[in-house]
């Protein structure tokens, strides 16, 4: 349930892509290419959710795949509401900027102005929280977080979980992603406004933007109409239920749910004076720091400037990509923790919009002898260049596929040929290396443009 920090690094690696050869194909051609491109992902169990693509104010592609509930066989649709995990952070950032516009706070204010009881609050500013430069440890990294997050908690209870932990670095000296920053911002928002986090967003963001199908999931007993259930990849192409999480534990950092159309309304509202003044948007979203700006990542993909929000939670992934120079928006909401949408799919949809070549779709699972699968089973170790330096992994043979375990995280590893495998959770491509006698000595794993090698460890 607790997302691995390397997921964020993998997602950032996969944001990059090559540049193609032409621009601005007709809308009908874009839609046709996208439908053809996405179909194999859905058919191989690597896409369950809704995709929306728009350019220049026109929705050119909107389609849903898979099931909102696999037990009841309820299909996903454009009306399905998905948890959007860390795509919630741009909403928290926008709310704080609204309060600054109202002169109720300044992002240069120290945290201690609003939370005098918070340790080290005088050493960090709201801007440090908004840019992940505070040094506060990530609440999600606590050893018992998975158990803790199964029960409801208030914002003060969440803040108490990390308030007295030592800072990981001097505020402002470096940047390190931490969900604690946005949890703290949500509490500050409530202190400043006297409103609940949910109530403020409803009144000042959702309603003005016309987001009728969005909300904050802070009460597990509340019914959310048309809500998707969350799943994780299982076996060759199937799914199983994601571990339970009480979303109150994500308040500020990842507790929102929405639809693809509502996220598009949020995007359009950010393009006008509806939510933020143009001077504010210019200062914090264009002229600000290069890495993490108030809930957004700034990159260049396929030769085009990109403003991206990405989320991954228990059974869900979300992506809101805004290409401000092209007026192109790509939204992917899924109810599976697999990250194909944050890997090749988002980048390839951009390639199609811009008239460039997309990468080949995923290969379909193939049957290989059980003896071949058994020969790949064992323990392997990555080097210091891996996302988790020197991490070890265990591969176990199952009927038709391998199970990969790193720490307490599992992912199916599916054969797509006799020599190539697909790691479904992070959508990595794995190939095994052998010695002259045919004995397996290691593996290589490719995520986007990054390739890592792991050596096989000897067993006693």
What is the spatial distance between Cα 448 and Cα 66, in angstroms, rounded to a whole number?
25
**Is residue 196 domain-shared with residue 277, that is, in the same domain?**
yes
CATH number at residue 418: 2.40.128.50
Question: What's the pLDDT score for residue 23?
Answer: 57
**Is residue 300 domain-shared with residue 377, that is, in the same domain?**
no
pTM, 2 dp: 0.91
**Is residue 292 domain-shared with residue 311, that is, in the same domain?**
yes
Question: What's the pLDDT score for residue 293?
Answer: 78
CATH number at residue 83: 3.40.710.10
Joined together, the tokens standing for residue 209 give: 């933007």
Question: What's the pLDDT score for residue 4?
Answer: 43
Instruction: Select from 362, 381, 396 the last residue of a domain.
Output: 362
Question: What's the pLDDT score for residue 184?
Answer: 98
* Angle between the N-to-C axes of helices 89-101 and 180-193, in degrees from 0 to 180, rounded to the nearest 10: 40
Of 361, 401, 349, 22, nearest to 238 by C-alpha is: 401
What is the spatial distance between Cα 243 and Cα 245, in angstroms, rounded to a whole number?
7
**Is residue 357 domain-shared with residue 210, that is, in the same domain?**
yes
In contact, 217 and 70? CB cutoff 8 Å: no
Q: Which 3 state secondary structure label does DSSP give 36?
A: helix
**Is residue 208 domain-shared with residue 123, that is, in the same domain?**
yes
What are the 10-residue block averages of pLDDT along the chain, 460 residues in total? 47 45 79 96 93 97 98 98 97 98 98 97 97 96 94 98 97 95 98 98 98 96 97 93 96 98 98 96 79 84 92 95 96 89 87 92 89 95 93 95 91 91 91 93 90 87
Instruction: Select from 362, 393, 428 the last residue of a domain.
Output: 362
In contact, 66 and 48? CB cutoff 8 Å: yes
Query: What domain count does the chain have?
Result: 2
Instruction: Select from 362, 378, 393 the last residue of a domain.
Output: 362
**Is residue 398 domain-shared with residue 254, that is, in the same domain?**
no
**Is residue 307 domain-shared with residue 440, that is, in the same domain?**
no
Question: What's the pLDDT score for residue 24?
Answer: 77
**Is residue 51 domain-shared with residue 102, that is, in the same domain?**
yes
Question: What's the pLDDT score for residue 286?
Answer: 83
Question: What's the pLDDT score for residue 432?
Answer: 95
**Is residue 233 domain-shared with residue 183, that is, in the same domain?**
yes
**Is residue 385 domain-shared with residue 342, that is, in the same domain?**
no
**Is residue 171 domain-shared with residue 73, that is, in the same domain?**
yes
**Is residue 78 domain-shared with residue 144, that is, in the same domain?**
yes
Contacts of 185 (CB under 8 A, 6+ apart): 92, 93, 96, 126, 129, 130, 252
Task: Identify the domain containing residue 431 by its residue range.
Answer: 370-456
């Amino acid at each position: 349930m607790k997302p691995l920090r390397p997921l964020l690094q993998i997602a950032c690696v996969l944001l990059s892509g090559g540049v193609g050869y032409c621009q601005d194909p007709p809308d009908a051609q874009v839609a046709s290419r996208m439908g053809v491109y996405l179909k194999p992902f859905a058919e191989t169990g690597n896409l369950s959710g809704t995709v929306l693509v728009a350019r220049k104010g026109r929705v050119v592609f909107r389609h849903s795949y898979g099931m909102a509930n696999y037990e009841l066989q309820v299909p996903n649709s454009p009306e399905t509401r998905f948890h959007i995990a860390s795509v919630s952070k741009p909403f928290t950032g926008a709310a704080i900027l609204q309060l600054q516009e109202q002169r109720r706070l300044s992002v240069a204010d120290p945290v201690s102005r609003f939370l005098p009881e918070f340790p080290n609050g005088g050493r960090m500013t709201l801007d440090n929280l908004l840019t992940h430069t505070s040094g506060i440890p990530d609440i999600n990294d606590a050893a018992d977080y998975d158990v803790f997050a199964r029960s409801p908690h208030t914002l003060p209870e969440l803040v108490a979980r990390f308030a007295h932990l030592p800072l990981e670095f001097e505020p402002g000296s470096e940047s390190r992603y931490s969900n604690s920053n946005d949890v703290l911002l949500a509490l500050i928002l409530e202190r400043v406004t006297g409103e609940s986090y949910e109530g403020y967003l409803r009144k000042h963001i959702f309603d003005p933007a016309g987001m009728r199908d969005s909300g904050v999931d802070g009460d597990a007993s509340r019914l959310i109409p048309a809500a998707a259930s969350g799943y994780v990849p299982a076996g060759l192409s199937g799914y199983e239920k994601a571990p339970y999480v009480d979303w109150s534990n994500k308040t500020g950092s990842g507790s929102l749910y929405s639809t693809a159309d509502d996220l598009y309304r949020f995007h359009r509202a950010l393009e006008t004076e509806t939510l933020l003044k143009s001077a504010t948007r210019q200062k914090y979203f264009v002229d600000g720091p290069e890495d993490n700006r108030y809930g957004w990542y700034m990159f260049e993909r396929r030769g085009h400037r990109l403003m991206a929000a990405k989320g991954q939670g228990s059974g869900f992934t979300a992506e809101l990509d805004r290409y401000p120079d092209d007026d192109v928006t790509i939204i992917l909401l899924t109810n599976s923790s697999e990250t194909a949408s944050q890997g090749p799919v988002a980048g390839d949809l951009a390639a199609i919009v811009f008239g460039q070549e997309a990468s080949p779709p995923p290969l379909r699972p193939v049957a290989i002898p059980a003896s071949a699968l058994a020969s790949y089973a064992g323990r392997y170790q990555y080097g210091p260049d891996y996302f988790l330096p020197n991490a070890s992994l265990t591969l176990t043979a199952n009927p038709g596929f391998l199970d990969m375990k790193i720490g307490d995280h599992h992912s199916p590893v599916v054969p797509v040929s006799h020599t190539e495998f697909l790691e479904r959770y992070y959508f990595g491509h794995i190939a095994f290396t052998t010695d002259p006698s045919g004995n397996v000595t290691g593996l290589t794993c490719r995520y986007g443009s990054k390739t890592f090698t792991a050596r096989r460890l000897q067993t006693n």
